[in-house]
Amino acid sequence: MGVLAAALTSCGSEPDKRCVDRDSYDYLTGYKIVADKNCKSGTSSSYGKGRQAGGSSYGTGSGTGKSGRMDADWYYDADIDGRHADYGTFSRSEAVDRDGFGCSGSGGG
């Protein structure tokens, strides 16, 4: 009974997510995690509205004005190491499907 209850409650649960700067990807560390306020709530593939604290990743921005803008988005089910996230997905539906029981597949008996 406990397994069935866990399966039913996990189906509607929100996958783990972090707000990351899509322009900050590093091969060794992954994406830089930024404040949640930089990601629009709700849909995936949203663009950030906040400013990057330490200046732009590209160009000569000083961290203020338009040059300090970032491309922030929700990153789901990632491995977290300090202030970086990797091996996740930007697709919420893919993250839900990865969680084992999921909602999109047919159940077995």
Q: What is the torsional sign of CA 48, 65, 53, 55?
A: positive
Closest-CA residue to 76 (of 99, 53, 47, 59): 99
In contact, 52 and 31? CB cutoff 8 Å: no
Does the structure show a pLDDT above 80 at 3?
no
Which pLDDT score, from 0 to 100, does residue 86 have?
A: 97
Q: Residue 48: how many CA atoms within 13 Å on its side-chain side?
A: 24
* 39, two tokens: 């990601």
In contact, 103 and 12? CB cutoff 8 Å: yes
Which pLDDT score, from 0 to 100, does residue 61 have?
A: 34
How far is residue 14's CA from residue 90's CA, in Å, rounded to a whole number?
A: 14
Does the structure show a pLDDT above 60 at 79?
yes
Which pLDDT score, from 0 to 100, does residue 39 have?
A: 94
Per residue in 53-77, pLDDT (tens digit) is 333 333 333 333 345 688 999 999 9
Which pLDDT score, from 0 to 100, does residue 26 have?
A: 97
Per residue in 8-54, pLDDT (tens digit) is 455 557 899 999 999 999 999 999 999 999 997 654 443 333 333 33
3-state secondary structure of 23: strand
Which helix (DSSP H) or strand (DSSP E) does residue 66 occupy? none
